[in-house]
A and B are shown apart, each in its own frame.
Chain A
């Protein structure tokens, strides 16, 4: 099971490589492009301040700094596990003035609710930012490595606790992956938000907590947390993380990437979709975007128009498999 996941990751990686090579050959990028007219609304299903919101607001700011003339507004259509946002965009067939932010709930909510897949209906444009997770433990706790953590959970199944965000969210799925890969049983304690889970962790109530690298770094630097493992393919190179081994190095074969992307409504003119894919690519090559990625310790593998669809479908399959394994999937 875990090998399939790793393969998916590896496949994504090769795809990204081949795309980059394709992009360097100008003749291949000859899709017809057409700019939409009028103001653009980027619909975000999270509230202001959520990761997808921050990412899209940063993107919008960069694009309106000379790349795109159409004024871009980020609108938060919160509620329903992003379903208010995606249902709004699904209802705007062919509309050139609205885009949907893709975040994991856009994939997981339909699976959990048993409604038709969203990604199969919208027009995928690009996937452009990913984030790795780090498993943290208490600084004065008894674990120093993932191996010790796993051994403790093996000895006393269910006695090692992880505080995380909503049930079915990224950290829940990452927990499930670790459980499967190491063949252990953990106690996952869901919270109303990621920051509530962080408070539970910082209060010393649990043994483990997944954080994004940026969140994790300041906790580690201030001595409030100790890193056990990064759930990625290879180690990071930044000073704060270069000594933190991957889960794979410690015998737990898990790679998990959170990712965000953008799609147009169903039936969007391919020329407009191509134009947007081009703009998102240009935006993610700007220094401002690279600085943001570096500051937030994220990855910026770019999946353009040609691969975005296949990439998102693969991720959807992964989500479905994981949600089935934790007993949440309905279809």
Chain B
């Protein structure tokens, strides 16, 4: 049977009252759950998994997948409105999105994010539809050496995420140091745990992100009275203008493609995707100086990338049974619980379910666009609530969300500690995104270097012998050499 016939069958499963209803319910739940700090799509899916037990497996999986990508749309809300990324993939959105919100352009940022996510999401589902086997083979050619170079690229690139490279790199190093805490991932030897069993598993991303971004931000705003004014939002600034679309469409396209390729790799994820898309976009942007200060194309690229990455993660899951992200891992568990065995045979053995799922992603993304476009100004209007009332609510929700993520009060304490650190970083003008991104990239950086050398029995040639790795190595060397070359040229021009 041809792919289009199979897809047609899939649509026949979705375009029924039950199919449409549960897909809509799924994306709506995802939208809400994604907007809660701490509870991301993966946790939301796990919590709501038991509710799907009575359903037909195909319908249940469609609904759960809806929560997964709906969560990406919902996560944008907290990143933009209150600068609390609920997940690692929202960090880059928060950087510029919240600046835009401060300028009163929250509605624009949210609408462009929704449009970008929609286009990139649909693009990724088209890729899932037609080239899943090819892409999954490609994904397998990425392994430890490639991941190491990718992570290295990400870590060195954090230098450019601030006004001063030295300060940005210092924040990055701080993030890498925080990631050292806990059992060494390779040998299990405890590092910097100071005899505390609680530190053995290391420091989780969620309390760090909530603390550094959300709590730090609120503390800094609370300290003076003039920051207490509500953020002004005029209605005509709430909807995106034609010029906004023209300015961001290329960013959406590039972000979507980067996101898809990073998303299909089982070892990377939506956070790496959005970082790389953001950095690429700054290279292409006509106004790179706006990045970090409220660049709409930065938000568009990051959002397009994280949504297409979250769809791309479906490819290794469907083709190989390997989850590309925490959310797809829950989706796999749901399949098992519904009596379906995942693995390389899934697409042949369960073609109705798989094609129903793929068709449902077209429909679900459309629902999300329809939900988000008219509601963006409404969500943005939340900022009209006086900040004094908003601030304690954000703090309380952040702490409850941190608790809900692990069900451990220790996480709440961690959140407060990192809140203080975040506040101090604002006060001392140290940029915060490099810290959080380095924390996400650190395990990938360290683990994959050591795995590479285990694979090659200690020979560094593994980095040049593998074709993809060799290409990445050249990219890394260029990205390191260019700023140095530029600085040399500038200093020579001066003398």
A residues whose Cβ falls under 8 Å from a Cβ of B: 47-50, 53-54, 57-58, 60-61, 73-81, 83-84, 88, 109, 112-113, 115, 158-159, 161, 166-168, 187, 189-192, 195-196, 198-200, 202-206, 214-215, 217-219, 221-222, 224, 291-292, 295-296, 328
Least Cβ–Cβ distance between B168 and chain A, in angstroms: 27
| Cβ contact within 8 Å between A158 and B457 | yes
| Cβ contact within 8 Å between A295 and B341 | yes
Number of chain B residues close to chain A: CB under 8 A = 56
| Cβ contact within 8 Å between A54 and B337 | yes
B-chain residues with CB within 8 Å of residue A206 when the two chains form the complex: 455
Would you list 13 pairs from A and B whose C-beta atoms are within 8 A, ordered by A residue? A47-B329, A49-B46, A61-B50, A80-B197, A115-B197, A161-B455, A167-B185, A167-B187, A187-B457, A196-B266, A199-B316, A202-B322, A218-B345
State the CA gap A54–B323 with chains docked (Å).
Answer: 15
Least Cβ–Cβ distance between A60 and chain B, in angstroms: 8
Least Cβ–Cβ distance between A295 and chain B, in angstroms: 6
Determine which of A195, A204, A221 lies in contact with B322 in the assembled complex, contact meaning CB atoms within 8 Å.
A195
Q: Say yes or no: is B92 at the interface (Cβ < 8 Å to chain A).
A: no
| Cβ contact within 8 Å between A77 and B407 | yes
| Cβ contact within 8 Å between B320 and A202 | yes
A-chain residues with CB within 8 Å of residue B185 when the two chains form the complex: 166-167, 190, 192
| Cβ contact within 8 Å between B408 and A83 | no
State the CA gap A196–B323 with chains docked (Å).
Answer: 9
State the CA gap A217–B142 with chains docked (Å).
Answer: 24
| Cβ contact within 8 Å between A54 and B336 | yes
State the CA gap A183–B234 with chains docked (Å).
Answer: 75
Q: Say yes or no: is B53 at the interface (Cβ < 8 Å to chain A).
A: yes
Cβ-closest chain B residue relative to A61: B53
A-chain residues with CB within 8 Å of residue B321 when the two chains form the complex: 195, 198, 215, 218
Enumerate B300-330 residues with CB–CB distance to A below 8 Å.
316, 320-323, 326, 329-330
| Cβ contact within 8 Å between B188 and A47 | no
State the CA gap A138–B64 with chains docked (Å).
Answer: 34
Cβ-closest chain B residue relative to A115: B197
Determine which of B144, B333, B344 lies in contact with A200 in the assembled complex, contact meaning CB atoms within 8 Å.
B144
| Cβ contact within 8 Å between B407 and A80 | no
Q: Say yes or no: is B4 at the interface (Cβ < 8 Å to chain A).
A: no
A-chain residues with CB within 8 Å of residue B142 when the two chains form the complex: 203
**With contacts A199-B140, A224-B320 known, what are 17 further pairs, Cβ within 8 A?**
A47-B326, A48-B43, A49-B323, A49-B331, A54-B333, A73-B50, A77-B407, A78-B406, A84-B408, A167-B184, A167-B185, A187-B454, A189-B454, A189-B455, A195-B266, A217-B341, A224-B344
| 5 nearest A-B pairs in the assembled complex, by CB-CB distance | A218-B343, A48-B46, A49-B333, A222-B344, A203-B140
Q: Say yes or no: is B352 at the interface (Cβ < 8 Å to chain A).
A: no
Cβ-closest chain B residue relative to A222: B344
State the CA gap A166–B140 with chains docked (Å).
Answer: 20
Cβ-closest chain A residue relative to B136: A202
A-chain residues with CB within 8 Å of residue B200 when the two chains form the complex: 80-81, 83, 109, 113
Enumerate B404-460 residues with CB–CB distance to A below 8 Å.
406-408, 443, 447, 451, 454-455, 457
Determine which of A48, A166, A204 lies in contact with B333 in the assembled complex, contact meaning CB atoms within 8 Å.
A48
B-chain residues with CB within 8 Å of residue A166 when the two chains form the complex: 185, 188
Least Cβ–Cβ distance between B180 and chain A, in angstroms: 15
Q: How many contacting A-B pairs (Cβ < 8 A)?
A: 157
Cβ-closest chain B residue relative to A110: B197
| Cβ contact within 8 Å between B42 and A80 | no
| Cβ contact within 8 Å between A53 and B188 | no
B-chain residues with CB within 8 Å of residue A61 when the two chains form the complex: 50, 53, 337
| Cβ contact within 8 Å between B49 and A48 | yes
Produce 1/0 per residue, B189-204, CB < 8 A to A: 0100000011011001
State the CA gap A222–B346 with chains docked (Å).
Answer: 10
B-chain residues with CB within 8 Å of residue A192 when the two chains form the complex: 185, 443, 447
Cβ-closest chain B residue relative to A327: B187
Least Cβ–Cβ distance between A146 and chain B, in angstroms: 22
Enumerate B370-414 residues with CB–CB distance to A below 8 Å.
406-408
B-chain residues with CB within 8 Å of residue A54 when the two chains form the complex: 333, 336-337
| Cβ contact within 8 Å between B188 and A167 | yes
| Cβ contact within 8 Å between B143 and A113 | no
Determine which of B46, B322, B326, B331 lies in contact with A199 in the assembled complex, contact meaning CB atoms within 8 Å.
B322
Assuming the contacts A48-B49, A113-B200, asked whether A77 and B343 have C-beta atoms less than 8 A apart, the reply is: no
Least Cβ–Cβ distance between B441 and chain A, in angstroms: 13
B-chain residues with CB within 8 Å of residue A58 when the two chains form the complex: 337
Cβ-closest chain B residue relative to A169: B188
Least Cβ–Cβ distance between B56 and chain A, in angstroms: 16
| Cβ contact within 8 Å between A295 and B329 | no
Produce 1/0 per residue, B453-476, CB < 8 A to A: 011010000000000000000000
A-chain residues with CB within 8 Å of residue B204 when the two chains form the complex: 79
Least Cβ–Cβ distance between B33 and chain A, in angstroms: 13
Assuming the contacts A57-B49, A167-B185, A202-B320, asked whether A48 and B455 have C-beta atoms less than 8 A apart, the reply is: no
State the CA gap A109–B326 with chains docked (Å).
Answer: 23
A-chain residues with CB within 8 Å of residue B443 when the two chains form the complex: 192
Q: Say yes or no: is B186 at the interface (Cβ < 8 Å to chain A).
A: yes
Determine which of A76, A113, A205 lies in contact with B197 in the assembled complex, contact meaning CB atoms within 8 Å.
A113
Determine which of A48, A195, A205, A328 lies in contact with B45 in the assembled complex, contact meaning CB atoms within 8 Å.
A48
State the CA gap A109–B320 with chains docked (Å).
Answer: 31
State the CA gap A196–B147 with chains docked (Å).
Answer: 12
| Cβ contact within 8 Å between B267 and A199 | yes
Least Cβ–Cβ distance between A320 and chain B, in angstroms: 15
B-chain residues with CB within 8 Å of residue A168 when the two chains form the complex: 188
B-chain residues with CB within 8 Å of residue A196 when the two chains form the complex: 266-267
| Cβ contact within 8 Å between B407 and A199 | no
Most interface-central of B46, B187, B332 (chain A CB within 10 A): B46
State the CA gap A292–B340 with chains docked (Å).
Answer: 10
A-chain residues with CB within 8 Å of residue B266 when the two chains form the complex: 195-196, 199
